[in-house]
Amino acid sequence: MLSIFKIFLGLGCVSFGGPAAHIGYFRTAFVSRLNWLSEKEYAQLVALSQFLPGPASSQIGFALGYRKGGLPGAIAAFLGFTLPSIALMLLLAFVAQQLTNSLYFHNVVHGLKLLAVVVVADATWGMFSKFCTSKLTSLLCFATASALLISPSVHTQIYVLVAAAFIGGIWLKEESVLLNTTKVKGSSIFPLLLFCLLLLGLPLIPMGAYTAIFNDFFQAGSLVFGGGHVALPLLQNIVGEQLSQNSFLTGYAAAQAVPGPMFTFATYLGYELLPSSPILGALLATIAIFLPGFLLILAALPHWQQLSHNAKLVGIINGVNAAVVGLLLSALYTPISTSAIHHITDVVFLFILFFLFKSMKLPIGWLVSLVIVSSIVLTLMS
């Protein structure tokens, strides 16, 4: 287990760039270098992560650890890949409270918000190109975005996702072309029962501060398809007025800046939401948002070969994925763009960042460093 932990810890320290980049890092490490599994088997795990709610890249890492060392190996993989990001988000949450009146800090945060516009815009376009390839899926995307802009709430999100799933199950059915995979041993009953029990049972119990945080973030992790970027609108509606928009977006910008899974945004939010016990709040939120995806992948792994050939299920996921792009599109406008773009100089800076990110292919880590240094220099010059 220690060897699995060390491998994933190394990846967690350098994996900038979001879920798509993480998938590339994993392929290089486990298919090309370590030969843990074949290219075809890895493609199956990637496909499975796209079919389930939760953090896609973390689910792939969890599944890789499970294949190699069972449940202890899966937990070791998760801890190794996620701990660097959790530590950095905790540090930033602590520092943010100490520097709230610093002009340097505010300008750096503003710069990171502009970088968030670039990253989310790129993610939105990439997902639109992948998931909205027909008139119907495009319609689902734009209808979802319109509904959320008109009535932004958790209930609206749930309604549009359910409607998209219903439409997809009827009109977007297609046969999967996935290849056969090696069967993974394990029990699917217990993780599925635990997931259902927590999802349906938690809202029924009396809510204290701790249970409320765990429930809110578990519900978020159960509803988010498409990875960390898509968690933004759902988490924003869950947090509501408990946290200022500036504080919320500071955490989101920080999640862009650190390596590892973007779902550790929950670490920052949990820290802020429970000021009496910030470390406990951060840990509860982090565990709760990752847990649903891991329980579902444990339940699905033994049966994925059969599930991947269910035409109706593929249609449901097609519909949900299109709606997810709409969720991201609405979030790109508000709160991301509306809170970041205030002056024409912000637009010029965005153009520069887009050029460096898309044309020059500058890595996210370099862009983060550039934004921080530029913000400090501009503050000194002002």
Is the model more confident about 229 or about 127?
Answer: 127
Contact status, residue 325 vs residue 132, Cβ threshold 8 Å: yes
Q: How confident is the model at residue 184 (pLDDT cuts 50, 70, 90)?
A: low
Q: What is the DSSP letter of 342?
A: -
Query: In this predicted structure, what is the pLDDT of residue 36?
Result: 93
Q: How confident is the model at residue 178 (pLDDT cuts 50, 70, 90)?
A: very low
Whether the per-residue pLDDT at 241 is higher than 80: the answer is no
Long-range contacts of 132-140 (CB under 8 A, 24+ apart): 132/322, 132/325, 134/172, 136/167, 136/171, 136/172, 136/322, 137/172, 137/318, 137/319, 137/321, 137/322, 138/322, 140/164, 140/167, 140/168, 140/319, 140/322, 140/323, 140/326
Q: How confident is the model at residue 113 (pLDDT cuts 50, 70, 90)?
A: confident
pLDDT tens, position by position, 286-303: 999 999 999 999 998 887
Contact status, residue 168 vs residue 318, Cβ threshold 8 Å: yes
**Rounded distance between C-alpha atoms, residue 148 and residue 232, angstroms:** 13
Whether the per-residue pLDDT at 161 is higher than 50: the answer is yes
Q: What is the DSSP letter of 30?
A: I
Whether the per-residue pLDDT at 20 is higher than 80: the answer is no
Cβ neighbours of residue 246 closer than 8 Å, sequence gap 6 or more = 109, 339
DSSP 38-104: -HHHHHHHHHHHHHSSS-HHHHHHHHHHHHHHHHHHHHHHHHHHHHHHHHHHHHHHHHHHHSTT-HH
Cβ neighbours of residue 235 closer than 8 Å, sequence gap 6 or more = 220, 248, 265, 266, 269
Query: In this predicted structure, what is the pLDDT of residue 180?
Result: 47
**Cα angle vertex 158, ends 294, 52, to 5°?**
25
Mean pLDDT, the chain, whole residue set: 85
| b/e map 75-112, b = 16+ CB within 10 Å | bbbbbbbbbbbbebbbebbeebeeeeeeeebbbbbbbb
For range 179-206, the mean pLDDT: 79
**Rounded distance between C-alpha atoms, residue 269 and residue 83, angstroms:** 16
Of the listed ranges 120-129, 170-179, 196-205, 291-300, the one predicted with least confidence = 170-179
For range 34-38, the mean pLDDT: 91
Contact status, residue 314 vs residue 175, Cβ threshold 8 Å: yes
For range 176-203, the mean pLDDT: 75
First to last CA, the chain: 52
pLDDT tens, position by position, 209-240: 899 999 999 988 987 765 566 677 778 777 77
Whether the per-residue pLDDT at 18 is higher than 90: the answer is no
Contact status, residue 206 vs residue 277, Cβ threshold 8 Å: no
For range 312-332, the mean pLDDT: 84
**Rounded distance between C-alpha atoms, residue 46 and residue 76, angstroms:** 19
Q: In the chain, count H helices and then E strands.
A: 18, 0
Query: In this predicted structure, what is the pLDDT of residue 377?
Result: 93
pTM of the model: 0.74
Cβ neighbours of residue 66 closer than 8 Å, sequence gap 6 or more = 73, 74, 77, 184, 186, 298, 301
14 phi and psi, to 5 degrees?
Answer: -125, 0
